[in-house]
Amino acid sequence: MEQILRIFFNNGSFITFAGLQLLCVYLIINFNSKQGEIAAETWSVRAGSVKSVVGTFQDYLDLREENEIQQAEIANLRSQLENALYDTKAGVDSIDDQRYQQRFRLLATNVVNRSPFKPTNTCVIDRGTAFGVQPGQGVVGEHGLVGIVDLPTANYARVISILNRAARISAGLRNDAFGTLLWEGKDPRRMTLTDIPDFMTVVVGDTVFTTGYSNVFPTGVVIGTVESSAEQPGTGSQDLVVRLINEPLHARNAFVVQDLLKEEITSLNNNRR
Amino acid sequence: MRGVDLVSNAIRFAILLFLQVFIFRQISLGWGGAEYIFVFVSPLFVALLPLRTPRPLVVFIAFLFGLSVDLFYETLGVHAAAATFAGYARQFVLAILEPRDGYKVKASPDGKDLSQGWWFRYLGALAIAYTLFYFSMEAFSPVFWWQIVVKTVFTAPISWLLCLIVVAFLRPRL
């Protein structure tokens, strides 16, 4: 209170001045037509700008609600886009595997999901049991191999990549030597072909094919080329380092190889056993 | 020590009001359909208030004088605003123009106790403050700033001159 009084005494002339000026402005506006009109005009202009500012602020407060409405609408529209739909149109092609008189059917798919790089790589394709995808069917790319179907669902299937330490693939050379192709788990560009007899002459640059003996892949699909060979002492075999011709982890399009005669061959194997 | 008591200030109030509203109100010169030259003696009344008057009281008395002028000019509030501003500006003019040894107690602001040059500057500053604020309030919008400046430039020196003449008549020296 004392401070307020002190402020008043120190600035008494200013307070008197300000109060009287307000009174004067009031008198000027109300008793002089010209100044009154100017004041009214100014007031209307300023009031308009104040109203627009208030409107902008209220729009800002409604932003959250507007955002929800927009997001619901976006979700609605995007659910109608092509990439939100499951494509039921099957792209089917077939090749004749004349050597063994088998017929494979290839089903076009897209890779829709990939695991991060690790020793057990997998990926997911967008075709499932609705198209006849079953566990154990091979998956090839435009060039080379991609993997083997592991776990199909109605519309999707999980694929064990050939770059998976659990994968074993029957592969061979042009001179009918064959062995097992496996991955060491480190270099995604190279695989190892084991169990090639050491008396077989292997030249660097030879092409490595699938053999088709395991009924997973058709015979004669190119896998890669021989980069080097190393005899395994005491086993009578040699290991070949195979340089892959494709990048299985980066495949976007793939084809599921469906062996139409698989049950017949499986029954033969069972009888033999 | 004449002119500092209440009675002489009241008499001065009446005389200057009479001069302003009955004689100098008739003067309005100009050309081209616009008037640029007016005469205001209101700054003189503000200037002649005793130096020791409390500052809020200066503002209030100036306001009363301006309001009285307004009643005759039929521009209620315009002169009052200008006179209030001149009354408020007076303390700053006094502070700026203060002599080296300060003001004497009960000094009259006209040139008796202080130099003639001090009086000229003091009255001139108040006249400029008064006219500038008067024309600003008359135009009531910064859009007319050129008219405000022109009218102030023409009116302030003439009002200042008339004030000097009037004070010479009212308070003859020697």
Cβ pair A124, A113 in contact under 8 A: yes
Residue A44 is inside which H or E element, if any?
helix A33-61
Mean pLDDT across the stretch B131-136? 93
C-alpha distances (whole Å) from A162 to each of A120, A125, A180 are 9, 15, 12
Domain ranges of chain A: 2-76, 92-272
Mutation target to probe the B interface, by most B beta carbons within 10 A, among A7, A29, A30, A32 is A32
Mean pLDDT across the stretch B84-106? 84
CATH of B6-170, one of 1.10.1760, 3.40.50, 3.10.400, 1.10.3470: 1.10.1760
pLDDT tens-digit map of B38-57 = 999 999 999 888 888 888 88
Mutation target to probe the A interface, by most A beta carbons within 10 A, among B68, B79, B88, B135 is B88
Torsion of CA B41, A15, B5, B129, to 10 degrees: -20
pLDDT value for A152: 92
- Which residues in chain A have Cβ-Cβ distances shorter than 8 Å to B91? 13
pLDDT value for A85: 60
pLDDT tens-digit map of A203-248 = 898 999 888 787 788 888 889 999 998 888 888 899 999 999 988 8
Mean pLDDT value across chain A: 84
Per-residue b or e along A220-245, where b marks 16 or more CB atoms closer than 10 Å to that residue's CB: bbebbbbeebeeeeeeebbbbbbbbe
Report B:87-126 residues touching A (Cβ under 8 A).
87-88, 91
Could you say which DSSP state residue B98 is in? -
What does R_g of chain B's alpha carbons equal in angstroms?
A: 16
- Which residues in chain A have Cβ-Cβ distances shorter than 8 Å to B59? 13, 16-17, 20
Domain ranges of chain B: 6-170
CA-based nearest residue in chain B for residue A31: B76
Q: Is A163 helix (H, G, I), strand (E, B) or coil?
A: strand
**Burial of residue A255, with CB atoms counted within 10 A of its CB: 0-12 exposed, 13-18 middle, 19 or more buried:** buried
pLDDT value for B174: 41
Give the highest mean pLDDT range of A183-187, A197-201, A252-256, B81-85: B81-85
DSSP string, A125-142: ES--GGGT--TT-EEE-S
Nearest to A188, CA basis, from A162, A207, A149: A162
Q: How much of chain B exceeds pLDDT 70, in percent? A: 90
CA-based nearest residue in chain A for residue B139: A35
Residue B8 has pLDDT above 90, yes or no: no
As a whole number of angstroms, the distance between CA B41 and CA B43 comes to 5
pLDDT tens-digit map of A104-140 = 778 888 888 888 888 889 999 988 998 889 998 999 8
Nearest to A107, CA basis, from A259, A255, A260, A261: A255
* Min distance B18 CA to chain A CA atoms (Å): 22
A169-172 and A157-164 beta bridge pairing: unpaired
DSSP string, A52-79: HHHHHHHHHHTHHHHHHHHHHHHHHHHT
* Min distance B87 CA to chain A CA atoms (Å): 8
Residue B1 has pLDDT above 50, yes or no: no
The phi, psi pair for A137, rounded to 5°, reads -80, 145
Superfamily of domain A92-272: Rod shape-determining protein MreC, domain 2 (2.40.10.350)
> Considering CB atoms only, which of B56, B87, B140 is closest to A12?
B56
Report B:131-170 residues touching A (Cβ under 8 A).
137-138, 140-141
pLDDT value for A63: 85
